[in-house]
Amino acid sequence: MPRFRVVLKKPYGVIGVEAENIEELLSSIERLTDASSLLDKKILAPGVVPQEHQIQREDVAKRRRGRSEATLALDAIERHLLKTDFFSTPKTTSEVRQKILELAGLKLQSRKVSQALGILFKSKKIIRVGSRGSYRWFIK
C-alpha cells in the first residue's frame, strides 16, 4: 500500500510525518506544524542552534537499493577472471561478457561490462590497448 509523507526542512534538521492514507496525513499535518513551531521556539535562539539540541539531518540523497549491473560485472570479473590467466591475451568487451555468462551465469549489458573494465583500468588492475570503441583489455 502506498505511503504518504510530508517533510518540513528546518535549519536544525528535518521534521516530518508519514501516513497510510491521505486522510490520516491531513489530520497529522496540524500536529506537525504545532511540533515544528514548538521546536523553533525551543531550539532557535537568535540564529544559533545549541549543540545539545541539534538534530541530525536525514540524508538528502536516496540510498541505493540492490546492486547495479556495473557492480555485478566488476565483482564477477574480479572473482572469476582476474585470478585466472583469462586476461593474459587482450580480450574485447564482448569476450569478457561471454566469459562472465559462462562462469557466473550473469547476462549483462555490454556497456555495463565496459564500465566495469574502465573502473579496473583506472585502478590499474588491467591495461587497455586500441582506440575508443575498440579497446582490448589485458593484464601485463
User: What is the model's pLDDT at position 140?
Assistant: 78
Domain ranges of the chain: 4-53, 69-138
Q: Say which residues have a Cβ less than 8 Å from residue 98's Cβ, sequence separation at least 6.
A: none
Q: What is the CATH number of domain 69-138?
A: 1.10.10.10
> Inter-axis angle of helices 69-76 and 110-122, to 10 degrees?
60
Enter the pTM of the model: 0.53
pLDDT along the chain (140 residues), means of 10: 75 79 80 81 60 44 60 91 93 95 90 93 94 91
